[in-house]
Amino acid sequence: MKIAQFIDTLAVGGAETMLMRLSIALQQQGHQIVVFHLGNDYIVNACRENNIEERVVPNLDQYKSLITVFMFSVKFARYLKQQGFDVLHTHLYGPITGSFLGTGLFSLKHIGTLHDVYSVKERVGRGFILRLAQLFGTKLVSVSDDMKSFYESYIPMARTIKNVHNGIDITCNSKDLSDPLSSFDDGQKIRIVTVGRMIPLKRQNQQLEAMAELLRNTPISLYFVGDGPDLEKISRKIKALNLEECVFALGNRNDVADILEHSDIFVLASESEGLSCSIIEAMGAGLPCVVSDVGGNSELIESSVNGFTFERDNFDQFAEKLQVLIDSSKLRLEMGQASKDKAKAAFSIDSMLHDYQLLYQ
C-alpha cells in the first residue's frame, strides 16, 4: 500500500518517535511510506537515515489558520488521491481534525491516532470536532486502555475507538557495550535515569526536589535525558542544590538505548501520559520503573512486580518507592527481568505493526 503519515509538531517526543518506528517497520514490510510534516528536523533526519521519503505538507499556510484549515483539508486529500495514496494516517489532534473533511469528501481511508489526552481534556468543543471526524469516516485510535475509556466518554455519542499499544523493537543488548555514562561517573553508583521532553508536564523539577535528600546521602547518580524549554531551568536547579557531582542534564541524545542499558532504575513523574514510549523502552532494557499513576502508566508498570507506581502528586511516596529499589539489588534485578518479559510479550513493534496493517486494509 501507499501510506501517508502526517504529524504537525516541531519537537521530539513519544508521538514522533512512534511515527518513525511504525514508518520504518511498514517500509520493511514492502509498503511505500511518505511522512508529511511542518519542517520537523527530527523527522527529516530520521527519514533520511532510514531511506524514507519525507515532504513538508502542501498548502502549509492554510493549515496554520483556523479560518482556512478546512480548505487545506480538501486540497490535501485531493493531492493524496492524485498521488495514488491508499491511506492517510494522522497523529495527534491537530492533523486528525485538520484532515477529516477532505478524506471524507474524497473517500480516502483515514486513521487518526490520539497519543495524549491533555491537549483536549479541558476543551469540551474538541470532543464534538472529533465526533465530526468519525462521521466523515475517520477511524480513531488510542494507545492505552485509559485513553480509550477517556475518549469514548469525552466524544459525544462516540463510535468505538480502536486501541493499539505502542511497540518497540525488543533486542537483547548487553552491558558489555561501551558505557555512554562513563565520563560522568565511575559506574560504582546506582544510576537512575529519566527520559522525556523537558517541559512542565513531565515535572522534572518536582522530581529533582523530591530526590535531593536521597542524592546527598546515597551513592546514586541521576540522569535527565531529553531536550526542551525547561532544560536550562533544570540545569540551574542542579547548581542551586549543589548536586553537580551526581545529577546530569544530558539534553537530546542519540544513544538513549545505550544509556538505558547501562542504568539501574527508570523514573517518570509526569502529570499526564498516553502510553509512554520512554517507559516501554526502559522495560525493554530490563529496568525496574517508578512512575506516576497517570494515563497508561499502570498498564505498563504493575506495582511490586516490575516497579512501582505512586500517586501523581505524592512525591514523598515517590521517594519512598525509589528508596526500596535503591536498597535492594536483588529486587532491581527481579523487577527488571519482569519488565523485559512484559515488554516482549505485550509491547513489541510486531504487535503494533500487525494491528495497524489490519486497520489500513
Confidence of residue 121 (pLDDT cuts 50, 70, 90): confident
- For residue 173, what pLDDT is reported? 55
Grid cell in block for residue 155: 466524544
Grid cell in block for residue 205: 523539577
- For residue 176, what pLDDT is reported? 58
Given a cut of 90, whether residue 171 has pLDDT beyond it is: no
- Torsion over CA: 6, 10, 14, 16 (sign): positive
Q: Which domains does the chain have, with CATH numbers?
A: 2-164 (3.40.50.2000), 190-346 (3.40.50.2000)
What percentage of the chain carries pLDDT values higher than 90? 86
Confidence of residue 119 (pLDDT cuts 50, 70, 90): confident
Rounded Cα distance, 149 and 151, in Å: 6
In the chain, the DSSP E strands lie at: 2-6, 32-37, 53-56, 87-91, 109-114, 139-142, 162-163, 190-195, 220-225, 247-251, 265-268, 289-292, 307-310
SS3 of 50, please? coil
Average pLDDT over residues 42-60: 97
Q: What is the pTM of this model?
A: 0.87
What are the two backbone dihedrals, phi and then psi, of residue 139, each rounded to the nearest 5 degrees?
-95, 110
Number of neighbouring beta carbons within 10 Å of residue 1: 15
Rounded Cα distance, 295 and 274, in Å: 5
Q: What is the pLDDT of residues 200-254, one digit of tens each?
A: 999 999 999 999 999 999 999 999 999 999 999 999 999 999 999 999 999 989 8
- For residue 169, what pLDDT is reported? 84
- For residue 42, what pLDDT is reported? 94
What percentage of the chain carries pLDDT values higher than 70? 98
- For residue 174, what pLDDT is reported? 55
Q: What is the pLDDT of residues 270-326, one digit of tens each?
A: 998 888 989 999 999 999 999 999 989 999 999 999 999 999 999 999 999 999 999
Helix 14-28 crosses helix 349-360 at what angle (to 10 degrees)?
Answer: 80
Rounded Cα distance, 191 and 107, in Å: 52
Given a cut of 90, whether residue 124 has pLDDT beyond it is: no
Q: Between vectors from CA 7 to CA 121 and to CA 97, what angle results, nearest 5°?
A: 50
Look at strands 247-251 and 265-268 and give their pairing: unpaired
Confidence of residue 172 (pLDDT cuts 50, 70, 90): low
Given a cut of 90, whether residue 330 has pLDDT beyond it is: yes
Q: What is the pLDDT of residues 134-169, one digit of tens each?
A: 999 999 999 999 999 999 999 999 999 999 999 988
Rounded Cα distance, 1 and 87, in Å: 8
Grid cell in block for residue 349: 513493534
Rounded Cα distance, 16 and 351, in Å: 19
Average pLDDT over residues 258-272: 95
Mean pLDDT of the chain: 93
